[in-house]
């Protein structure tokens, strides 16, 4: 009998060893969601919808280049085409692990490049329900991550991860993220304020295969307290284009590289 129990314990050990921690799941999710491919481009259509259903449309091009491994440095470039009040406005982000990102914005009306302060990372991105930090991602090390349970989103099996900020200066209390077990994309995220009330909800509304890479081509963010929401659709999406480092410079903030953004 004793040998039987020893055999049972030995048989279970490999399964236990394969179990992922909350932090490991979130690292895989970040790699799948924010780092796929060596580089990336897309035309982005953004709808800002108020609680009465009135819509405002924004359209932009986004370029992204990885300069390191998943979780490492990245560069982002964005230029707006419409509406008129943001036409030709452009953004650039240098993302760094474990420290504040560098962000710049070109304002065409005054032909000026403005540095965006690090503390503004949780500010609204061009009036949407997404923040600057939502666009480029929050550092994994900024939060404690615990695997809470397993649950389905639609027909997809997910890990549910609770992420709690390590410092009190964060503007939210905690997040719950539903991470697809198969491809590690975040399919849903609920953000709670410091009183424990649901404040925002993200969802990946449509996932498509682009060059063999599962990609959330439709995604949305809703402010559950105001009723305002933002719907984003990625079109003309592509990976591994050979984007040059020189594209991510102040020169191209002022004069976007039409070859890549048209």
Token pair in block for residue 96: 């760094």
Per-residue CA distances from 242 to 65, 112, 173, 224, 253 (Å): 9, 29, 40, 40, 19
Q: Which residues pair with 92 in a beta bridge?
A: 77, 104
In angstroms, the CA 217 to CA 209 distance is 9
pLDDT tens digit at each of 262 positions of the chain: 555 554 555 455 444 446 799 999 999 999 999 999 999 999 999 999 999 999 999 999 999 999 878 888 999 999 999 999 889 999 999 999 878 889 999 999 999 999 988 766 778 888 899 988 888 888 899 999 999 999 999 999 999 999 999 988 888 999 999 999 999 999 999 999 999 999 999 999 999 999 999 999 999 999 999 999 999 999 999 999 999 999 999 999 998 888 888 7
- β-strand pairing of 39-49 with 198-210: unpaired
Q: In this predicted structure, what is the pLDDT of residue 119? A: 67
pTM of the model: 0.88
Question: Does residue 33 contact residue 234 with C-beta atoms inside 8 Å?
Answer: no
Question: Does residue 94 contact residue 75 with C-beta atoms inside 8 Å?
Answer: yes
Q: In this predicted structure, what is the pLDDT of residue 162? A: 98
- β-strand pairing of 55-66 with 74-82: antiparallel
Alpha helices in 114-212 (DSSP H): 132-136
* Strand, helix or coil for residue 108: coil
Q: In this predicted structure, what is the pLDDT of residue 16? A: 42
Q: In this predicted structure, what is the pLDDT of residue 17? A: 41
With tokens 């009330």, the residue in question is 197
* Strand, helix or coil for residue 88: coil
CA angle 162, 22, 18 (to 5 degrees): 150
φ, ψ of residue 9 in degrees (nearest 5): -65, -45
In angstroms, the CA 58 to CA 70 distance is 29
Q: In this predicted structure, what is the pLDDT of residue 5? A: 52
Per-residue CA distances from 97 to 57, 69, 70, 73, 142 (Å): 32, 11, 10, 6, 10
Strands (E) in 87-155, as ranges, are 90-95, 102-107, 112-116, 143-153
């Amino acid at each position: 009998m004793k040998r039987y129990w020893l055999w049972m314990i030995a048989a279970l050990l490999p399964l236990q060893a394969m179990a992922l921690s909350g932090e490991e799941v979130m690292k895989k999710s970040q790699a799948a969601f924010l780092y796929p491919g060596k580089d990336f481009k897309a035309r982005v259509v953004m709808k800002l919808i108020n609680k009465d259903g009135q819509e405002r449309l924004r359209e932009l091009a986004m370029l992204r280049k990885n300069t390191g491994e998943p979780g490492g440095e990245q560069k982002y470039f964005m230029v707006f085409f419409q509406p008129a009040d943001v036409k030709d406005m452009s953004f650039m982000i240098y993302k760094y692990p474990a420290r504040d990102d560098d962000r710049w914005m070109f304002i065409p009306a005054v032909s000026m490049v403005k540095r965006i302060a690090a503390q503004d990372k949780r500010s609204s991105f061009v009036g949407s329900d997404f923040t600057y930090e939502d666009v480029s991602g929050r550092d994994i090390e900024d939060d404690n991550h615990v695997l809470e349970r397993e649950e389905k989103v639609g027909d997809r099996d997910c890990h549910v991860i609770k992420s709690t900020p390590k410092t009190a200066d964060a503007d939210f209390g905690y997040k719950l993220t539903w991470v697809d077990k198969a491809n590690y994309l975040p399919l849903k995220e609920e953000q709670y304020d410091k009183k424990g009330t649901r404040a925002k909800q993200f969802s990946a509304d449509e996932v498509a295969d682009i060059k063999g890479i599962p990609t959330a081509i439709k995604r949305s963010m809703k402010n559950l307290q105001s009723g305002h929401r933002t719907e984003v659709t990625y079109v003309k999406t592509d990976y591994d284009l050979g984007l040059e480092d020189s594209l991510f410079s102040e020169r191209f903030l002022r004069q976007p590289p039409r070859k890549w953004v048209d």
